[in-house]
Structure 1
Amino acid sequence: MRYTLSTVIVLLGFAINSRAQTIVDYQHRIDIINSNIYKTFYNKKAGLYFETNNAADNKGNYSFLWPLCALVQAANEQEEADPSKQYIAPVLRAINKYYSARPPAPAYQAMVARKKVDSRFYDDNEWVAIALMDAYDRTQQKQYLDISKMIYKFLLTGHDQVGGGGFYWQEGKTKSKNTCSNGPAILVALHLYKATGQKAYLDTAIATYNWTKQHLLSAQDGIYYDAIRVPEMKVDSAYYTYNSGTMLQSAVLLYNATHEKKYLDDAQDLARSAEKYFYKDGKLPGGYWFNAVMLRGYLELYNIDYNKTSLQFIIDDANRIWTQERDEHNLLGTKKVKTLIDQAAMLEIYTRLMNADF
C-alpha cells in the first residue's frame, strides 16, 4: 500500500499526539501514587516508611527493607524524568537506618537497626545497589558508587563453591541458592564493571550468569526456576516474573559488555518464553514489583532491538491495573490492605514507561 505525503504527515501527527497524551496520563498516575506514598506510608518525623496502610498489620513497626528497595528504584526513575527534584534522598536516608556494621562485612539488614539485630538478605542489598548504580550512571555522585561497592563486598561473603558456585539468599542460611540472589548479583557486578573498568567485576558476572543458567534455567519452559537446594542440588521449580527479569537484563548487559551474540540470543529467547508463560488471559501474575523487575529486562532489550511489540503485554497489564485494581483513594492492589511495595512498583512501572523512548 502506498501513502501520499499528506497521509504520512497526518499519521505521524496522530502518533505524536497519541504519545504526548500517553505521557500526560502516566504523569498523572505518577503524581497521584507519589502523593499517596508520602501521605499514607511515610512518617516524616522519623524519616521512615510503613509497610502497609493498616496500623494493625504494621504492628508498631516500620517497613522492612524490601519495599524500600522498590521505592529507591522508583525514585531514580522519577529523578530521570525530572532531575530538578530529589526523590532518592528521603528514601536513602531511610535505608541508612537499616545499616548494620557487624562482621563479616557491613550491609543493610531487614528491619530498622535501632529496633533489633535482624537478618540480612543478599537480594535486598543487591536491589539497593542496582538502584544506586542506575543513579550513579545518571549523576556520577560518588556516594552511590561507594555504597554499591560496600554491598558488593558483602555479597562476596555469601558466595562459595558448594554446588559449583552461586550466591546464597540469606546470610547464615547455606541451604538455598536462588535466582533472586544470583540474577541481581550479576547486575551489580556489571554496573560496577561499567563504572570502574575492573575486570574482576565482569568475571564475577560471567561466572554467576553461567552458573545460574546451568542450574536454574528450565529446559521445558525457557524461564528461570526460583532456587536450588544445596548440596543436594534439588530445584525449587516455582516461577516468578522477577527471576526471568533479572536474567533477561543480565543477558542484555553482558551482550553490551562483551559483544558476544550468544547473550543477545539468550535474552531474546527468554523474552519470548517469559511472555508466553506468564501472560495469561490478558494479565500478568500478581506481585506488581516482580513485574516491575521483569519490565527492566524488557526495556533493556528494547534499547537493543527497538521492538516495542515485545513489551506491549506489560504496557497493557499496567493500564489494566490502573483501571481495575485501584480503590477509591487511588491506592493500588487487589487486597483491602494496601502495601508500600505495590505503590512503589507501579510508580516505577509508570515512570519507566513514561521515560521510555517509544
Structure 2
Amino acid sequence: MKYPEPISRRNSLKTIGLGWMALQCPTLLQAQTKQPAPSRAREVTDWLDRYWDDKREIYMDKADKKNPTAIWAGGILFSTLVAAARHDKQRFQPMMNHYFKGLEAYWDPKVKIPGYEPLPTAGNGNDKYYDDNAWMVLTFLEAYEQTGEAKYLRRAKETHDFVLSGWDDQLGGGIWWHERHNDDAKNTCVNAPAALSCFRLSKFSDPKTAEKLIAQGKKIVEWTVKTLQSEDGLFMDHIKVSTGKISRARLTYNTALMLRCFLWLHSYTNDPAHLAEAKRVAKAADSFLDGNGVYRDLQKWSHLMVEADIEMYRHTKDDYYLNRAKKTCTAHYDSWKSAPKPEVIDNASCARELWLLEDLDSPAAVRFWQNSDNPRKS
C-alpha cells in the first residue's frame, strides 16, 4: 500500500532504454508507455496511501502520521476500499484484508458487549459511540455480500449487538449517542444507520432472527420519525434525554440514512407509502443545496446524502437524483484536485462517493447492487 515511487528514483537503465527507443521508434515508445488516466475515484483513493501506516496496518489522521484516525473515519475508509475492490479486486481486496486486521486495534473484546472504541485501545474501555459502530456494521455487511468472507458477517453481527445495546425506554425508546450518555443525547445519526443495519442484516439471518431484526428496525424508524423528523420531512440532529429539548439542526447524513430506510421498507413490503415518504424526504433534501446545486455540508456528512441519491436513482430510475449526486461529486473532486484536505476522512469521503458513481457504469457493480438492494436472499 505504498505510494508509487517517483520516476526520478527509478532504475536509470530503464530510463536509458526508453531514450534509445524514442530515437529508434517514437510510435513504439508511445504505445508502450501510454497508460490510461486513472478514474477520478482511483485517483483520490491512490492519494489515501500517504496516510497508511504499514507497520500498524491502519490509516493515520494526517499525512504526518502522528495520530491514528478515529474509527468514524475508519468506517468511511473501509467502505472506500470495499467499493474500490468492486472495480479492481486484485489490488484493493488485499488492502481490505490488511485494514480489517488493523482495525482490531480499535476493537474492545474485554467488556461485556464488545465494540469499537474511537481510537486504538488496550481494552476495558467505556468511550464507545453507538453511531461509530453502526457505520461499521453497514460497511462490513457490504464487504460480506461482496466477498462472501464469513469474518465480515461475524464482525457485523458482533458490532450490531453493541449498537442495539444502546436502546432503552427513556423518551419512549431510541439509541443513545454514547455509551456513558455523553451529551445526554439520542441522535438521528445512530438510530438511522442502526435501523438500516437491522434491515440489511436480516437478509443473512435465519427466519426467526430476521423477523426480530426487521421488527426492531421498524421500531427504531418509528421512534426516529416520531421524535426527530421535522415538518418538512428532514431529520433533526438529536434530543436531550433529561429535558426533551430537540436540536433542530439538520445535517445531510441524518436525512440520508432515514431515506435509505424508507427505500428498504418499500422493497420489502411493496407498500407505496414508503416510497412516497422516500420521495418526500428526498425532495426536502433540496434545501441542503447551495446556489450551484451542491450539498453544502462537509464531505464527511454529505457523501452519505450522495449515496442516498444514488440509491434513490437505482430504485426509481429518476435522473433527478443522479444529476444531484453528480454535481456534488464533481464539486468535491474539483476541490480535492485543487487542494486536498489535510484530514484523511474528507478525502476518503470523496473517494467513496466517486466509486459509488462509477458503480453505475460497471456491469459487475450494477449486478452487485441489484442483489444487495433486494431485501431477500436471491
TM-score range, shorter chain: 0.7 to 0.9
Distance across 2 between alignment mates of 1:298 and 1:318: 11
Root-mean-square deviation over aligned CA pairs: 2.0
Identify the match of residue 202 of structure 1 among 214, 228, 237: 214
In structure 2, relative to structure 1, the CA distance for the partners of 1:326 and 1:115 (3 Å cut) is farther
For 1:238-257, list aligned pairs within 5 A: 238-257=249-268
Deviation at 1:323, TM superposition (A): 2.2
Alpha-carbon displacement from aligned partner over 1:140-182 (angstroms, at most 9, x marks no partner): 2211111111011111221011111111111111721100000
Match of 1:49 among 59, 67, 74: 59
For normalisation by structure 1, the TM-score amounts to: 0.84
Q: 1:311 and 1:208 mapped to 2: Cα distance?
A: 28
2:151 paired residue number:
143
- Cα distance, 1:308 vs structure 2: 2.0
Q: Secondary structure at the match of 2:248?
A: strand
What is the match of residue 9 of structure 1?
none
Are 1:110 and 1:118, in contact at CA under 8 Å, matched by a contact in 2? no
| Matched-pair contact (CA < 8 Å) for 2:185–2:239 | yes
Pairing 1:76–2:82 present: yes
User: Residue type matched to 1:191 in 2?
Assistant: R
Structure 2 stretches of 5 or more lacking a match?
Answer: 1-35, 367-378
Residues 323 and 156 (structure 1), Cα distance of their counterparts in 2 relative to 1, 3 Å cut:
closer
Give the 5 Å matches for 1:76-155: 76-85=82-91, 86=93, 87-114=95-122, 117=125, 119-155=127-163
- Code of the residue aligned with 2:322 in structure 1: it is L
CA deviations over 1:56-104 (Å, ceiling 9, x no partner): xxxx421111111101111111112233341421221221110102333
Q: What is the Cα deviation at residue 116 of structure 1? A: 9.1
Q: 1:313 to 1:116 in 2, by over 3 A?
A: same
**Aligned partner of residue 81 in structure 1, secondary structure:** coil
Distance 1:77 1:264 in 2: 26
**Matched ranges for 1:1-358 at <5 A:** 27-38=38-49, 40-54=50-64, 60-85=66-91, 86=93, 87-114=95-122, 117=125, 119-173=127-181, 175-196=184-205, 197=207, 198-219=210-231, 221-274=232-285, 276-282=286-292, 283-327=294-338, 332-333=340-341, 338-356=342-360
Give the TM-score taking structure 2 as reference length: 0.80
Q: Note if contact 2:306-2:328 (Cα within 8 Å) is conserved in structure 1.
A: no
For the 8 Å contact 1:104–1:157, the answer to whether it is kept is no
2:69 counterpart SS class:
coil
Shift of 1:265: 1.1
Task: Evaluate the alpha carbon distance shift between residue 141 and residue 78 of structure 1 in structure 2; reply closer, same or farther with a 3 A threshold.
Answer: same
Q: Which residue identity lines up with residue 56 of structure 2 in the other structure?
A: A
- For 1:269 and 1:242, how far apart are their aligned partners in 2? 16
Cα distance in structure 1, aligned partners of 2:47 and 2:67: 19
Q: Secondary structure at the match of 2:119?
A: coil
Partner Cα distance (2:166, 2:265) in 1 = 22
Asked whether the 8 Å contact 1:248–1:298 carries over to 2, the reply is: no
* Contact 1:168–1:178 (Cα < 8 Å) also in 2: yes
Between 1 and 2, higher relative CO (CA 8 Å, sep ≥ 6) is seen in 1
Residue 177 of structure 1 aligns with an amino acid whose one-letter code is K
Tell whether the 8 Å contact from 1:42 to 1:49 is kept in structure 2 after alignment: yes
Q: Number of matched residues?
A: 320
- The Cα of 1:48 is off from its aligned counterpart by 2.0
Deviates more, 1:240-249 or 1:116-125: 116-125
Alpha-carbon displacement from aligned partner over 1:239-272 (angstroms, at most 9, x marks no partner): 1110011001111011112222221111111111
Question: Following the alignment from structure 1 to structure 2, what is the Cα–Cα distance between the partners of residues 216 and 311?
Answer: 27
Q: Is the 1:186–1:208 contact (alpha carbons within 8 Å) kept by the matching residues of 2?
A: yes
253-262 vs 114-123, which moves further: 114-123
Q: Separation in 2 of the partners of 1:287 and 1:116?
A: 33
> 1:293 Cα deviation (Å)?
1.1
